[in-house]
Structure 1
Amino acid sequence: MDVVRQAGDVVSAGKDLLVPKDFFPSPGPTSAGSPITNRGLPLDRLLPVSAMTGLPMGGNAVNLLPSNLPTGGISFGIIGTNFNLNLALQALENQTKSRSLSKPEIVTVENAKASIVLGSEIPYATVSSAGTQVQFKEAALRLDVTPTVVYEPNNVTRIKMKLAVADDSAGDLVNLGGGALVPTINKRRTETEVLVREGDTLVVGGITQRTDTETIRKIPVFGDIPVIGWLFKSKLTQTTPNRELVIFVTPSLVRRDTPRASLQPSTVPR
């Protein structure tokens, strides 16, 4: 499986079933990762899921944060098949209130882990006797899903979802001596196990991002004078509003008796 720098996925699992590499199942509701503004995503039919028990609770699952609040925690919810998720996302995109990042699809077998990574590698320099070398530190949002099929009368699919979240930007630089500055990585991690019916959509929210940009303007030479240099320069700090990344995961089963004609090779990325 190729690791892609994208968010959101479709996970398909079948008991003791190996799917040919050239075929993917036809997905139900499209899964997409979207940064949502504080104006909100209209998921009024969303059922929240307890991160400890994996069972649905009352109220709304993904409560998008106001722009003046600090970063919140990670929450989970389930969207039923009677909710048109694609239509809601498209409406928000038309109003420029959200943006779909990607719609990757992956196939895995029962009890096998599937992973998707969104992030970047941050370069930093190290100094040694061999000279200056450039190394990289990963800052990424990683989603690990291990599906297990539970055969019950109501056809429930159990998904054990391991989610690790890391800030996709570098933190403060730490001086290790010898001129080596290494960036710190801010991380948030959570792990849960939830029960999702086939065709329902699992929602992961509460992953917020905010960017602070500092710009210094100065008059050459005069701005570098100690003590009085600040008379010839100014500092401007700009903070972008909080953005929330929402991940949708829709599982579907590929059964032994599934005709090959129903598996659509056109959905496979080339």
Structure 2
Amino acid sequence: MKKLSRAVIKIFLALCLSVSLPAASIGDSNVPEMQDGKISLTLRDVSIAEVMEMLSRAGHVNILLSDSVEGKVSVNLYDMGIDQAIRSIATSAGYAVERRNGNYFIVDRSDAGKSEPGGPTQVRTYKVQYSDAEVVAGIIKNHLSTYGQVATMPERRLLIVEDTPYFHGRIKSLLAKLDREPKQIMIEARILEVGLKDSESFGLDWAAIFESGDAQIGTQGLSSPGSPGLFFDLIKPDVTLVLDALRKRDRLRTLSTPKLLALEGQEAETIIGDRLGYNVTTTIDSVTTTSTEFLESGVILRVKPSVDEQNRIFLEIHPEVSTGSVSQDGVPNQSTTEVTTSMLVESGQTVFIGGLIKRTSEQIRDGVPVLGDLPVLGALFSNRSLSSVNTELVVLITPYIVDNDKVRLDGGKVERVNQVAAELEEQPRDIAENLDKLDYFEDILVTDVEDL
């Protein structure tokens, strides 16, 4: 009997040992600790559900898994935020993460967006009318959902966006702010040339004129050799009087009065001068090609306007005065005076730029009348000398903000005028045809009268 009892006990113990015990649930001892909001975790072939449970307990966040989420993952994280850890693990396993009301939802990619506001993802196109499509796409990319994406067609200025209707609404609102119709600025410029005397070789002292307004124009001119140089300021009535006085003394002449229409953020340019051509030879793999390039010299004015919220105009101004030449060997040479500055002005205010000195050489021929013009012998009765001529360029820039609505209205008027003009052009043809008919009937009447 004792032997039987011992046998029964052995069999019972063997059965107990042969049965697999269920895996222990994750306890607090298995939950990794967060340090400074970061988590470090190393796991091998662990159920994604268990990993998400660990992250949920460690970060004290709610993580919900759909029925289709399954499988095992291997994880090796180091100092990663809980949000990034959840998204990284779910993405590596082929799932999408949705965040709603502070909770994380792990779903299959095919189901992504179905529970988002507005329903599943949709593909829509957006036309970028005024801005750079690539730049706008880069901004919009940061405002899409976790599974939204954007592509561009720069040549057609199109954005192709895939996202939920809710985010499409946000994109449309954002695009309306980014892709606004740019303002147009009319830039009126006056480029003047002031003749300088020998004592004014460094230019006029515009700073003194602007500060005191009592500069005298006499035999000594307006020179103050102690403070020459480039000068920028807003125009004042005293300066206008000085310019008028210089004009009356034939020391001031107008070189050009260009008017430029520029979009805000776009550069406008006017060039008054010469384009000197020279040949450039290039040799590549024993193949020599010759092309012609041009050296621009003279007065070059570049203006880049922009408009702030108070409708003030910010001007980036770059005036340049240069002289150029091409040697007999075809080598271009250029001497340039240029400066770049910025000013903030109201619409209609005039910016004054002075101090741009231009030095040129002129050949002067003096001689005895008639005798000096004789061939060969004329050289004995004439003299040639080289004289240096100094001039100062003054640039006046007046920007105006153009009312786009008024331009569109005026455009409608122009269209109507063109229509009326076309109708008037047709009237002479109609009159000519009627005259031809009258001549025809007149001939018939004359014939009938003669027959009578």
TM-score of the pair, normalised by structure 1: 0.56
Secondary structure at the aligned position of 1:141 is classed as: strand
Partner of residue 74, structure 1: 230
Letter in 2 for 1:197: E
Structure 1 66/91 Cα, relative in aligned 2: closer, same or farther at 3 Å?
A: closer
Unmatched runs of 5 consecutive residues or more in structure 1: 1-14, 48-57, 174-178, 224-232, 266-270
The structure-2 alpha-carbon separation of the partners of 1:184 and 1:160, relative to structure 1 and needing over 3 Å to count, comes to same
Corresponding position: 1:114 with 2:262: no
Taking structure 1 as reference, are residues 188 and 159 closer, same or farther at Cα in structure 2, changes over 3 Å only? same
Q: Which amino acid aligns with 1:208?
A: I
Q: Does 1:192 align with 2:341?
A: yes
**CA distance 1:91–1:16, change in 2 (3 Å):** farther
Say yes or no: does 1:96 pair with 2:254: no
> What one-letter code is carried by the residue in structure 2 that aligns with 1:100?
T
Distance in 2 of aligned mates of 1:198 and 1:212: 40
Query: Would you say the 8 A contact 2:303–2:315 is kept in 1?
Result: yes
1:1-270 equivalences under 5 Å are 16-17=181-182, 31-38=189-196, 66=223, 73-80=229-236, 85=240, 89=243, 92-123=246-277, 136-152=294-310, 156-161=312-317, 163-170=318-325, 173=327, 180-213=329-362, 236-240=385-389, 242-258=390-406, 260-261=409-410
Q: Deviations over 1:76-111 (max 9, x none)?
A: 11115x6794x7655543431211122111111211
- Larger radius of gyration, structure 1 or 2? 2
User: How big is each residue's C-alpha offset from its partner over 1:110-139, in whole Å with a ceiling of 9 and x where there is no partner?
Assistant: 1111111122123457899x9x99764222
Conserved in 1, the CA contact under 8 Å of 2:204 and 2:355?
no
SS at match of 1:253: strand
**Contact 2:299 2:319 (C-alpha < 8 Å) held by counterparts:** yes
Greater relative CO (CA pairs within 8 A, separation 6+): 1
How far apart are the structure 1 equivalents of 2:303 and 2:247?
27
Change in Cα spacing, 1:135 to 1:158, as seen in structure 2 (3 Å) is closer
Structure having the larger proportion of residues in helix: 2
Contact 1:121 1:138 in 2 (8 A): yes
Task: Classify 1:159/1:45 alpha carbon distance in 2 versus 1 (closer, same or farther; 3 Å).
Answer: farther
Q: How many residues align?
A: 206
Structure 2, unaligned runs of 5 or more: 1-179, 198-202, 214-220, 283-287, 367-374, 415-452
CA spacing shift, 1:43–1:74, aligned 2, 3 Å: closer
Show CA shifts across 1:1-20 (max 9, x none): xxxxxxxxxxxxxx83466x
CA distance in 2, matches of 1:216, 1:97: 23
Q: Match for 1:143: what amino acid? A: L
Q: Deviations over 1:136-191 (max 9, x none)?
A: 42223222111111223xx5322122x152423438x4xxxxx7242410112321
